[in-house]
């Protein structure tokens, strides 16, 4: 995890269900008393040698965070091109 994120987040929990193509993330931001949970649906897209992870939607257990994430996803389709050097490894866990 990035050093800056480690400074602001505690107790990060991350789970993937490859069959359902879902991810669950729970974080406890520094200074907060209760964790924030996220649930995301994703899809792996393969185009030739390229592999992308596409986040279809994200929901949070906090209304204000949920609304911010929805606005962010509406403006920018979240697609992440996986480097070829790790694509095989990523596909083992997410596909």
Q: Domain span at residue 15? A: 3-94
Q: Which two tokens stand for residue 51?
A: 């592999």
Tell me how far apart the alpha carbons of residues 39 and 69 are, in angstroms, rounded to a whole number.
11
pLDDT at 90: 79
Q: Residue 70: pLDDT band by 50, 70, 90 thresholds?
A: confident
Please count the structural domains in the chain. Answer: 1
Q: What does pTM read for this prediction?
A: 0.73
Asked if 52 and 58 count as a contact pair (C-beta separation under 8 A), the reply is no
Q: Write out pLDDT tens, residues 6-55.
A: 566 666 888 999 999 999 999 888 788 888 999 999 999 988 888 888 88
């Amino acid at each position: 995890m990035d050093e800056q994120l480690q400074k602001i987040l505690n107790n990060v929990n991350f789970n993937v269900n490859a069959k359902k193509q879902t991810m669950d993330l729970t974080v406890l931001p520094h200074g907060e008393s209760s964790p924030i949970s996220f649930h995301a649906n994703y899809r792996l897209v393969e185009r030739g040698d390229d592999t992308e992870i596409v986040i279809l939607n994200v929901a949070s257990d906090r209304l204000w965070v949920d609304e911010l994430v929805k606005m962010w996803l509406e403006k920018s389709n979240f697609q992440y091109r996986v480097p070829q050097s790790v694509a095989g490894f990523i596909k083992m866990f997410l596909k």
